[in-house]
Structures are given as C-alpha cells and as structure tokens.
C-alpha cells in the first residue's frame, strides 16, 4: 500500500483495522478504540515504515488543539495494548528515541468483505408457516373450484316448461 492514503480496512500482520468503525480485531476478539487512537494509527500507516516525528503527529492529529507529548505517549501505549504489541519487544509500533514512532510492518488491504446472506434452515418456524399458508391457499382454491363444478352438475336445469 505504498504511496496510497489509507482510509479503509487494512491489516497489520493479520490484525484487522477498520477505521470507519474504530475497531481493531486481533484473532477473534474485536475492540473499539478512540477516534484519536485510530487517527494516530492511520497516520503511521500512511507513512509506511517512515519515522514520524512526535511533533508531526501532534500537529496533524490534534490540528486545532494544544496537547503535550504525554498525550501522544498515552495514545501510543493504548494502541500497543489494543494491537497486542509489547513495548519492550515491539513487533508493530517502534519508538525511535528522541525522534518519534515508526510502524514496523507494511499495512495491506483487507480482503473484500463477505456479503451477508439471508440463510434459512428447514427447521425455521418462518419456513414452516410460509409452507403451511401456501398449502392452505392451494386447498382452498381447489375446494372452491370443485364445489363450483359440483354445483353446476348437481343442479337441475331450471328451464320453465309450458
């Protein structure tokens, strides 16, 4: 995903990141992160392997807000925890002392999301109710057709004789 701005689902070593939902999924567990945490992660992902100075992160993620560097340190700590990254032996987010942070793995696009399909099992009450209703309509239709034909045959001819 070189030279492309990341704005949709991406993965980092199998960890699924969904920016539009502010979620990170590690294995089968999914968790929400704050919009600021997601903004920091996306900024690092956009800069793919480059060292991003702390000041640049602060200026871009907190554009109109004055915050100190401890805020960024806290955000990075929370991101590491959400990603399951060990700060003493990082695999995803590296701290470059006196310089900034670097994403250690290249982000890659998620596979196309599976479309949700409506699945009905034969044991579903909705199916059986629908089938019974359809059968009822068929039997009622046959009943009235047979009754009408029977009435035509069994009625004596009503012609008047002089």
Decide if 81 contacts 90 (C-beta within 8 A). no
Q: Which of 98, 100, 122 is nearest to 49 (CA)?
A: 100
| pLDDT tens-place string over residues 68-107 | 889 999 999 999 999 999 989 999 999 999 999 999 999 9
Per-residue confidence (pLDDT) for residue 152, from 0 to 100:
81
Per-residue confidence (pLDDT) for residue 2, from 0 to 100:
43
Q: Is 87 helix (H, G, I), strand (E, B) or coil?
A: coil
Q: Rounded distance, CA 32 to CA 43, Å?
A: 18
Q: Rounded distance, CA 115 to CA 67, Å?
A: 42
| pLDDT tens-place string over residues 118-141 | 555 666 777 878 888 899 889 898
Residue 159 predicted with pLDDT over 60: no
| pLDDT tens-place string over residues 40-55 | 999 999 998 899 999 9
Which distant-in-sequence residues (6+ apart) come within 8 Å of 95 by Cβ? 76, 87, 101
Per-residue confidence (pLDDT) for residue 122, from 0 to 100:
62
Token reading at 30: 């999914």
Per-residue confidence (pLDDT) for residue 91, from 0 to 100:
93
* Architecture of domain 10-109 in this structure: Orthogonal Bundle (1.10)
Per-residue confidence (pLDDT) for residue 19, from 0 to 100:
94
Token reading at 39: 């903004």
Q: In what order do the strands lie in the sheet with 52-53?
A: 52-53, 100-103, 93-96
Q: Where are the domains of the chain?
A: 10-109, 121-154
Per-residue confidence (pLDDT) for residue 49, from 0 to 100:
85
Per-residue confidence (pLDDT) for residue 3, from 0 to 100:
43
Average pLDDT over residues 22-39: 94
For the chain, percent of residues with pLDDT exceeding 70: 84
Per-residue confidence (pLDDT) for residue 84, from 0 to 100:
93
Decide if 93 contacts 101 (C-beta within 8 A). yes
DSSP bridge pairs for 94 = 102
Per-residue confidence (pLDDT) for residue 70, from 0 to 100:
92
Q: Rounded distance, CA 55 to CA 61, Å?
A: 10
What letter does residue 92 receive in the DSSP assignment?
A: S
Which distant-in-sequence residues (6+ apart) come within 8 Å of 82 by Cβ? 24, 26, 31, 33, 37
Token reading at 134: 């359809």
């Amino acid at each position: 995903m070189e030279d492309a701005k990341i704005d949709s689902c991406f993965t980092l070593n199998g960890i699924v990141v969904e920016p539009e939902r502010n979620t990170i999924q590690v294995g089968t567990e999914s968790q929400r992160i704050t919009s600021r945490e997601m903004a920091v992660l996306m900024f690092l992902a956009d800069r793919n392997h480059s060292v991003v100075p702390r000041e640049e992160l602060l200026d871009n993620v907190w554009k109109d807000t004055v915050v100190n560097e401890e805020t960024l340190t806290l955000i990075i700590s929370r991101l590491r925890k959400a990603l399951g990254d060990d700060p003493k032996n990082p695999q995803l987010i590296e701290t470059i002392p006196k310089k900034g942070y670097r994403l250690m793995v290249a982000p890659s696009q998620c596979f196309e999301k599976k479309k949700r399909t409506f699945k009905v099992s034969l044991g579903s009450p909705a199916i059986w109710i629908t089938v019974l209703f359809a059968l009822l309509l068929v039997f009622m239709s046959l009943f009235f057709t047979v009754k009408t034909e029977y009435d035509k045959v069994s009625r004596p001819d009503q012609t008047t004789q002089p």
